[in-house]
Amino acid sequence: MSPISSAADLQSLLFRHIDKILQVWILLDGQDKIVMWSKPAEQNFGYSSAEILGQPFCNLLPLHAPNRTEYIKLLELDSHNGSLINHRTQVVQRGGILMDVELTLHVFKESENFKLITLTNITETAELQHYVNNKMMELVERFHFFHGKDLTPQMREIFDAVLVAVTSGQGLRFNRAFLLLVDQEDQELKGVQAIGPASREEAGRIYHELSQSPPTLTKMIDLYKASETRSDTWINQLCQSIRVSLGDPEHLLIQTLFTQKYQLINDSSTMAGHPSFNRLRETLQVSECIVVPLIWHGQSVGLLIADNAVTGHQITDTNIKAITEFAKTATEVIETVKLLSKLEESINYIKQTNLKIKESQAQLMHQEKLAAKGQLIAQMAHEIRGPMSIIGGFARRVFKRIEPGDINYDPVNRIVETVATLELVLNDILDQTPKAEVLKNDCDAAKTINRVIALLEEEIHLRRISVNINVKGHLPNIRIKEHHLFEIINNLVKNALEAMEKDGLLLILANELGNMVVITIQDTGPGIPKSEEAKIFSPYYTTKENGTGLGLVVVQKLVEEHKGMLTVHSLPAKGTTFTISLPTVNKQEEL
């Protein structure tokens, strides 16, 4: 063979190999008539060159195609700088069989508008995508109508569909397929589901059945489903045994996730010899497999592993191209299912919350009704108690005056006893009716002090009295009802204010001492003479013009009732100090 030297030699070299590069290609003239095409084109369409040359390109388009005769012209309009890439369409083979293709068009404007068309047959991929998408739609519909149902079986089904597509005879033709997904929560890559014959015998059975009639995708899926009961468990167990931490960047599978590029695992692989490489081959018991990352919006969400463990066929470039292409569809479907399942969770959560709200609403309404009823009953019972006491009172009065032998003795006795019974019934009702509000013995002293001062602000201002409140740290709550503590402090502060001339100073201290809170209220009034000190707690003692002399009595009674202490200390012309100590709420009691 002469050495390649001239440009013509190089051109002829290139042209000799053009079929290997472009596969199915067709050259059209300015009138869109076929002037040349490749051997692969001939094989794909089934026409001989003699039959096709000179024919318009539209003869290769289906009869029902819209704008059939103008098709190439329209594509030209869509092209940029004379090129249109990966346009999806359908063409028709000699026998009338439709073929899904990706069409690329190059227009040579400077050369009489000649055009080069290349076609890639994507029928299989299109069918698979169609199948998986249909499954998806089915799932979405089912999800839509039965959104109360657990999604897991549907998820399994959709994963199955993806895996079947990889393995079926009409699909990507791998023997087995494994699906692994990234679990973000556990930071792990986990084997989820697998499909394929469990053994050579199983594979033989399936292939024998398939050889009886041309396999269709549906038939294939049905076959796998039928064998599921036998093979599914083992292969799924194998798949689920694969678990790799995302924090292991040396691991072959994790590397595939990070690089987002497929890895062909065989003896000539660059990774050969790596521990995880050997481990994977051992686990799957194969010498060759392909690992394809599933990429969703730039993020690796899982892996698809496929092998030919049964037939031992070598994985070809066509196989690789097909599976990497299919991985995109698979990812979309898987992620959609995951989203749906999350949606399902959210819907369930909202449903449950809704139910709880409804329940508590009903409960609240029930309680409100009960409370309203209770109030009505209490009111009625009280209204009845008055007249009942009149009937009973007079009846007893009469009864006392009747001798046991009198004809009226027994009837009046009956009235007395019946009224007594009725009164007991009323007492029962009144004891059981819910009280308007049950207040807790739990009160924040600092808050109450401030509330009292705020309410007396006008008087404090009028008397030009300075108030100094000093609460030491965070006080524990006192075991007393708030309105009772309010009454105590209100009375003492009022007394202090009234005792003072203008420009007086009111000092309120509060601090914790042991398990008590001590509140001191000190004024700069005239003080109480020693002789009077003992009397101030007796009822009706007052120095005020309009006083009832009951303020301090009430204070003392309240303090005593709450197991507290009240002391007074007075210095004539200096002022008076009242000290109240009340027990704090026991922490354990609170619990």
Tell me which of 376, 390, 455, 469 binds another protein, using CB under 8 A: 390
Query: Does residue 546 belong to the site contacting another protein (CB under 8 A)?
Result: yes
Binding track over 466-485 against another protein, x by CB under 8 A: ------------------x-
The reply to whether 389 sits near another protein by the rule CB under 8 A is: yes
- Contact status, residue 525 vs residue 575, Cβ threshold 8 Å: yes
Q: Alpha helix (H) ranges present in 186-295?
A: 200-212, 217-227, 233-240, 252-259, 275-284
Q: Which two tokens stand for residue 396?
A: 């007893």
Contacting range for another protein; rule: CB under 8 A; set: 199-207, 234-242, 320-328, 392-400: 392-400
Give the Cα-Cα-Cα angle 580, 582, 584 (nearest 5 degrees).
145
Q: How far is the CB of 378 from another protein (least distance, A)?
A: 9
Q: What is the dihedral of CA 102, 108, 111, 115, to 10 degrees?
A: 10
Residue 582 in the binding site for another protein (CB under 8 A): no
220 SS3 class? helix
Distance, CA of 581 to chain centre: 52
Q: Is 430 in the site for another protein (CB under 8 A)?
A: yes
Shortest Cβ 481–another protein spacing (Å): 10
Told to check if 367 binds another protein by CB under 8 A, we report no
Q: Which of 423, 442, 498, 512 binds another protein (CB under 8 A)?
A: 423
The rounded distance, in Å, linking the Cα atoms of 566 and 557 is 10
Member of 139, 558, 559, 566 binding another protein (CB under 8 A)? 558
In a 13 Å sphere around the CA of 192, the CA atoms on its Cβ side amount to 23
Candidate segments 181-189, 329-337, 450-458, 546-554, binder of another protein by CB under 8 A? 546-554
List binders of another protein among 485-544 (CB under 8 A). Answer: 487, 539-540
How do strand 34-37 and strand 289-296 relate by DSSP bridges? unpaired
Nearer to another protein, 455 or 469 (CB): 455
Q: Helix, strand or coil for residue 549?
A: coil
- 246 or 478: whose CB is closer to another protein? 478
Contacts of 160 (CB under 8 A, 6+ apart): 193, 195, 221, 224, 225
> How many Cβ atoms from other residues are within 10 Å of residue 264's Cβ?
17
Residue from 33, 147, 205, 385 touching another protein (CB under 8 A): that is 385
Task: Provide the 3-class DSSP secondary structure of residue 544.
Answer: coil
Residue pair 518/510 in contact by the 8 Å Cβ criterion: yes
Minimum gap (Å) between residue 389 Cβ and another protein: 4
Task: Return the amino acid letter for 143.
Answer: F
Q: Tell me the one-letter amino acid at 35.
A: V
Amino acid at 483: H
Q: By rule CB under 8 A, what count of residues binds another protein?
A: 33
**576 contacts 527 by C-beta, under 8 angstroms:** yes
Output 219 or 385, the one with its CB closest to another protein.
385
Q: Which amino acid is at 419?
A: V
**According to CB under 8 A, which residues from 218 to 237 bind another protein?**
none
Q: Does 382 bind another protein (CB under 8 A)?
A: yes
With respect to another protein, which residue has the nearer C-beta, 400 or 587?
Answer: 400
Q: Where does this chain touch another protein (CB under 8 A) — which range of 5-13, 268-276, 320-328, 553-561?
A: 553-561
420 binds another protein (CB under 8 A): yes
3 state SS for 428-493: HHHHHCCCCCCCCCCECHHHHHHHHHHHCHHHHHHCCCEEEEEECCCCCCECCCHHHHHHHHHHHH
* Cβ closest to another protein, residue 214 vs residue 386: 386
Q: How far is the CB of 507 from another protein (least distance, A)?
A: 26
Cα(512)–Cα(527) distance, integer angstroms:
27
- Is residue 243 within 8 Å of residue 191, measured between CB atoms? yes
Which residue do the tokens 């931490």 mark?
Answer: 245
* Least spacing, CB of residue 375 vs another protein, in Å: 12
Nearer to another protein, 342 or 435 (CB): 435
Q: Does residue 350 bind another protein (CB under 8 A)? A: no
Identified binder of another protein from the candidate list 68, 156, 396, 447, rule CB under 8 A: 396
Name the residue nearer to another protein (CB basis): 173 or 479.
Answer: 479
Given a contact cutoff of 8 angstroms between Cβ atoms, the answer to whether 293 and 256 are in contact is yes
Select the residue interacting with another protein from 17, 94, 200, 397 (CB under 8 A). Answer: 397
Single residue of 419, 478, 489, 493 touching another protein by CB under 8 A: 419
Which residue's CB is nearer to another protein, number 10 or number 430?
430
Residues that bind another protein (CB under 8 A): 382-383, 385-397, 416, 419-420, 423, 430, 484, 487, 539-540, 546-550, 553-554, 557-558
